[in-house]
Amino acid sequence: MFALSSISSWLADRRVAAFILVIAGFAAYANSWHGPFVFDDQGSIPGNPTIRSLASAWIPPADAGITVAGRPLLNFSFALNYALSGEAVWSYHAVNLLIHLGAALLLAGLVRRTLQLPGAIPTGRDSAGSIALFAALLWLVHPVQTAAVTYVVQRAESLAALWILATLHAFLRSLDSSNPLRWRCLAVAAAMAGVATKEVAAVAPLLVLLYDRTFVAGTFFPALRQRRGLYLALASSWLLLAGLMATTGARGGSVGFATAVPWWNYALQQAVAVVHYVRLAVWPHPLVFDYGTPTITSALTVWPHLLAIACALVGTIVALRFRPRAGFLAAAFFLLLAPSSSVIPVATQTMAEHRVYLPLAALTIGFALLLHRFAGRFAAVILATVAVVLGCLTWQRNLAYQDEVALWRATVAAAPENPRAHHNLGFTLTTRGDLEAAIPAYRRALALAPDYSDALNNLGNALLRRGQIDEALPLLRRATIVAPGDPDSWNSLGHAELVIGETSAAIQSFRRAIQLAPNYALAHSNLGQALALSGDVTAALSSLETAVELAPADAIFRNNLANRLAALGRTDEAAAHYQIVLAAAPDHVLTLFNSGNLFLNTSRFQLAIDHYVRALAVEHEYAEAHVNLAAAFQQLGRIPEAVAHYETALRLRPGDPIATENLRRLRREPGAPH
């Protein structure tokens, strides 16, 4: 008993508690630092040009379909990462972990100070410190938190939570400070930072008011009367939020009562979601990366969930009246979930584990308080054991994020009725070149959602790459019917039409894509290729040049333009474009090959040889490069070398007509190897 008492006193030391939290956080997330960008990460980080500069980062992309839209502080945080490490993932994961640790430290301090307020239970420095430590520790290492920590772009949730906690903490510090104005200004600044990070931070002023009423003023009216100026300043953050939301048009129409998801169906789904979040807090398995967009259409199918939520809400109201301190935790849980898990539809994601990131704190605090009350001095041992188990589960969950295909396979296994999971598994497999595995995944997505335009488009593209044009073309055409406003679908259809020789139709499809997305560089490049085939050289060059202007770092677009210039005899201009690519990427195989072709066609044979050799050093089995390298050797009279490369080309591509004919002729010459 003496030992347990000594441990509790030791844990009550703030420095010891902070050390334990930091060490536990680093231990639980030590294997998360190299997880790749996945899913929504792509649009917000690698595909986000605004983070390339700290100045432009304050104006995030207007595309409401990406996470950073309308969230300038979140976007700026990614710009800081980009300035530090470019697209190397380690710094993004490091900052996410630091945010999580900072939030845990704030949470521990907030709980400690709250339990030491007059009349708070339990009283006593040691018990307050121990409860605060374990409440924050369980919250810190709980595996459900990986959805907001290991998943990089969900920094939106963890950073917003940090600002909410900072707002509440600054308010609490202002109560006994000799300079309360300074702390209140910090509270307002944190509230502003919160809404500039994510919309859920709009609850911060209400949470402060609820806290004030519960632990300080006693009722709402004295709190509002005594600190009217503070609450007006905190509420002004809603004006900033309104302005930011206006820039995305309610996040592109995907949030709010005007979405395709009726509010009542969404509310029914949230009854299931909230009960599920509580279950995950107790038993975190299985964790699901993406739940998709399920909705409930009948209250009868979810009546047990509705009953549970109704009882919890009634209990919360009663507790706020008669046991306000206990009621505060329950009310805070529901209040923090309210922006995303109530009646306001979020059509693109009707359930998501990252939403319980900060609400989980109410549950861990309640658990630590209950265990302290009923287990007494043994509570620390039990809580420490639970923390170790949760930390090990977090470590294990982080392994799923190490490989995107594995992540989506796990998601499909946990949520087999989610068409988006099947589609994204197919898409990830496609990017790795595994079409054989990708196509069944796309088909399963379409079996679950026949009008899923992305799945129609990507399955059509996959089949097109396999040469199954008769099956691909109807899918691509259907994609443009299902989603006539999607430029990707029109661009894909144009590509398919170009493959089957319907050049005029392809031109119209590419132009439709550009009409929908004027800065769509790929569509401009494809249009240029199609116009060149139609004989409209001037318009072709204009489109190809536009593509390069829109995406100057894209090697393919620059190659397409250079190839067309070379075909027109403008070899110096073509060579300049090839050189730009090679200056940035000296081993870019296609550019080396095309440069070699330019030099071969202009009788600069040694330069051609140099470029083909460099291309083959990167891609040894590039049959066409072997053929052209052999032709260059042949022109210089280096017959044995020419024969060797023609033979290699025929081994790689049996029956190649150019290699076969040239090899036959060379072997007739005196001294040629046979």
* pLDDT tens digits along 145-204: 999 999 999 999 999 999 999 999 999 999 999 999 999 999 999 999 999 999 999 999
Using a pLDDT cut of 90, give the percent of the chain over it.
90
- Average pLDDT, integer, range 418-437: 97
CB 265 within 8 A of CB 301: no
Q: Closest by alpha carbon to 56, among 76, 78, 42, 73?
A: 76
Q: Closest by alpha carbon to 32, among 149, 140, 137?
A: 149
pLDDT at 126: 64
Amino acid at 344: I
C-alpha dihedral (562, 583, 432, 148), degrees to nearest 10: -120
Residue 618 has a CB neighbour count (10 Å cut-off) of 13
pLDDT at 122: 55
Mean pLDDT of the chain: 94
Check the CA dihedral 381-382-385-390 and report its sign: negative
For residue 671, pLDDT over 80 is answered with no
**544-559 tens-digit pLDDT:** 999 999 999 999 999 9
Residue 670's pLDDT band, with cuts at 50, 70 and 90, is low
Residue-range domain boundaries for the chain: 2-400
pLDDT at 667: 78
- Average pLDDT, integer, range 258-274: 92
Residue 253's pLDDT band, with cuts at 50, 70 and 90, is low
pLDDT at 343: 92
CB 647 within 8 A of CB 627: no
**368-412 tens-digit pLDDT:** 999 998 988 789 999 999 999 999 999 999 999 999 999 999 999
For residue 483, pLDDT over 50 is answered with yes
| Cα 309 to Cα 313: distance, rounded to the nearest angstrom | 6
The pTM assigned to this predicted structure is: 0.90
Residue 325 has a CB neighbour count (10 Å cut-off) of 17
**597-630 tens-digit pLDDT:** 999 999 999 999 999 999 999 999 999 999 999 9
Q: Where are the alpha helices (DSSP H) in 142-227?
A: 146-149, 155-175, 180-195, 204-211, 220-226
